[in-house]
Structure 1
Amino acid sequence: MRLQHPERTQAVVAVTSNRLLVDGVHRDWLRRKYVQALHRHAGVACVILPTVDAEDAMEEVAPAIMRRLDGLVLTGDESNVDPAVLSAPASFADPDRRDVEPGILDRPRDRLSAVAIESAIALGMPILGICRGLQELNVYFGGTLRPSLAEWSRESGAMHAEKPDRPRDRQYDAAHCVRISSYGALFPIARTIEAQVNSLHNQGIEALAPALRREAWAPDGLVEAASVIGAPTLQIGVQWHPEWHVSTDLLSKQLFKAFGEACVGYCRTKKG
């Protein structure tokens, strides 16, 4: 006699892509590290969201997709956030305006994140922002960014900057500690008030948006994690990259596990 096992609920999450311009050809791309971490440690399936051109920013494509999904992951990228575009994704439609500069500018990604965050917040679904994703959440809710941490403070800039003299894998080793608030959404996940994290970013939060709560901060005071105040589920962003060494880093494992559980809970609520 075959035993009947209840089908395990698998949530499906949206993952933001980035725009790559090679030989004049526009392509959407995403590092596999995010998909692997989400599959192996959050237990979710992934749908990759395409970037958005200015003339397409007001279409209902992204909201239609998001209504079918159970969570949103805002990935990191080398490009800087353009706050003006993220705050008004359909406002820059000039065909002569350069939208993509490798490692500097990715306005199609800014537009994608704007419409994806808007949909996720409206739907009350789980959100996990990673590095650039935390900065996008802050700008979306009205916060501001420091355009260059190196210009803000030479010492802080060095603390958070990429380490180009190291092999790529070693650039994501722990770079500094963070202090975790004992009253927020991150503490029950981390179960500690201090942790070691990696750090590879040029921009950083200047003024935290009123809708966000500070969850963790670096020794120089820079916000390293924030969550949406009053969110119906886990809606959080972290400045570090938990996807890179998730198989060996406990905090990274706990973060992806918590996000996966939140997505499954959201999925079951929708079906119910």
Structure 2
Amino acid sequence: MTLPQNVAATADAKAASPKPIVLVPACNRMLGEHPFHIAGKKYIDAVRLAGGQPLIVPSAEEAELEALLGLADGVLLTGSPSNVHPSHFGEEVLDPSLPLDPLRDSWTLPLIRRVIDRGIPLFTICRGTQETNVALGGSLYQAVHAHEGHEDHRGADGAPAAEVYAPAHDVVVAEGGVLAKVVGQSRFEVNSVHGQAVNRLADGLRVEARAPDGVVEAFSVADSAGFSLCVQWHPEWLAADNPVSMKMLTAFGEACRRYREGRRGPHP
């Protein structure tokens, strides 16, 4: 029997890589008058620290998703300056000056649902975490700092990156969850570089950590057939020097290796 060309090419590409292949969806940005697909190097470095082979995906048509998922041993959803368009959770745009990325929305939201259905390991950061909540039916605060009882979680405007990504507050880890098992700590410091945050948590998601003001800082998919960990902070920033970040990346990488070997399950 002859395999379809795209399926055969996918199988050949996967067999050629000694490491688990991790899909990293790109953002979309205009540089001058030219559109570019962009993925931050720090996210690619994080995949490598996890022991994976990063594969940046610019975008995908509906018909291309299955071939991509056949190639994937894991998916990492990055942070971004852009926000998920609020129409995906039934709201109008609150601040038109903030960037959006409707092309990314158009294919990552269905991608997330398929990743979870197939049990492919999923690790998400900042915008990627917000995407995951929206993809599964949740909503977001478009400006979390504007809601009574919540702090301002944005980084210092115009400050050097080292200041923007410096530790900002603790997170309190939920007992018995994925994050608790991975990091082995009940509390630790994180950076904070987000204006939006989880409002209504989607059905089937489990809170893994909260900020002192109650904002959801991490969640997992409770009944997922595969590893899932979604965090609101930026563990990829100077990850090699951060023991908590390395524990999370190591757990994600191990889940990707297990998936590649055919050992499915919500590891750890």
TM-score over 0.5 for the pair: yes
The alignment status of 1:234 with 2:242, answered yes or no, reads no
The alignment status of 1:134 with 2:134, answered yes or no, reads no
The alignment status of 1:223 with 2:231, answered yes or no, reads no
Match of 2:184 among 166, 188, 191: 191
Report the Cα distance in structure 2 between the residues aligned to 1:67 and 1:61, rounded to whole angstroms.
10
Aligned-pair distance for 1:264? 0.2
* Residue in 1 that maps onto 2:93: none
Report the Cα distance in structure 2 between the residues aligned to 1:83 and 1:263, rounded to whole angstroms.
31
* Residue in 2 that maps onto 1:206: 199
Match of 1:182 among 149, 167, 175: 175
The alignment status of 1:84 with 2:98, answered yes or no, reads no
Asked if the contact 2:150–2:214 (Cα under 8 Å) also holds between the matched residues in 1, the reply is no
Letter in 2 for 1:68: L
* Residue in 1 that maps onto 2:56: 48
Letter in 2 for 1:80: N
- For residue 67 of structure 1, give the secondary structure of its aligned residue in structure 2: helix
Deviations 1:45-85 (A, max 9, x none): 01111135xxx4xx311221111110111100011111434
Report the Cα distance in structure 1 between the residues aligned to 2:36 and 2:97, rounded to whole angstroms.
12
Asked if the contact 2:23–2:72 (Cα under 8 Å) also holds between the matched residues in 1, the reply is yes
Letter in 2 for 1:216: A
* Residue in 2 that maps onto 1:167: 160
- For residue 207 of structure 1, give the secondary structure of its aligned residue in structure 2: coil
Question: Which runs of 5 or more residues in structure 2 are unaligned?
Answer: 1-16, 91-95
Aligned-pair distance for 1:155? 5.7
* Residue in 1 that maps onto 2:143: 148
Report the Cα distance in structure 2 between the residues aligned to 1:172 and 1:145, rounded to whole angstroms.
22
Letter in 1 for 2:51: G
Report the Cα distance in structure 1 between the residues aligned to 2:79 and 2:98, rounded to whole angstroms.
12
Deviates more, 1:77-86 or 1:247-256: 77-86
- For residue 10 of structure 1, give the secondary structure of its aligned residue in structure 2: coil
Report the Cα distance in structure 2 between the residues aligned to 1:22 and 1:166, rounded to whole angstroms.
22
- For residue 252 of structure 1, give the secondary structure of its aligned residue in structure 2: helix
Report the Cα distance in structure 2 between the residues aligned to 1:258 and 1:244, rounded to whole angstroms.
17
Change in CA separation of 1:21 and 1:213 when aligned onto 2, cut-off 3 Å: same
Match of 2:28 among 5, 19, 22: 19
- For residue 71 of structure 2, give the secondary structure of its aligned residue in structure 1: coil
Structure 1 length as normaliser, TM-score? 0.84
Report the Cα distance in structure 2 between the residues aligned to 1:108 and 1:86, rounded to whole angstroms.
16
The alignment status of 1:105 with 2:97, answered yes or no, reads no
Deviations 1:222-264 (A, max 9, x none): 0000000111221110000010121111110000000000000
Question: Which runs of 5 or more residues in structure 1 are unaligned?
Answer: 1-7, 88-100
- For residue 156 of structure 1, give the secondary structure of its aligned residue in structure 2: coil
Asked if the contact 1:144–1:206 (Cα under 8 Å) also holds between the matched residues in 2, the reply is yes
Letter in 2 for 1:228: V
Report the Cα distance in structure 2 between the residues aligned to 1:34 and 1:22, rounded to whole angstroms.
20
Aligned-pair distance for 1:151? 1.7
Asked if the contact 1:85–1:111 (Cα under 8 Å) also holds between the matched residues in 2, the reply is no
Change in CA separation of 1:185 and 1:154 when aligned onto 2, cut-off 3 Å: closer
* Residue in 1 that maps onto 2:43: 34
* Residue in 2 that maps onto 1:121: 116
Asked if the contact 1:75–1:133 (Cα under 8 Å) also holds between the matched residues in 2, the reply is yes
Deviations 1:14-50 (A, max 9, x none): 00110001233211001100111211x2000011111
Deviates more, 1:147-156 or 1:72-81: 147-156
Aligned residues: 244
Letter in 1 for 2:203: P
Aligned-pair distance for 1:169? 2.6
Structure 2 length as normaliser, TM-score? 0.85
Which stretches of structure 1, 4 residues or more, deviate above 4 A after TM superposition? none
Asked if the contact 1:85–1:107 (Cα under 8 Å) also holds between the matched residues in 2, the reply is no
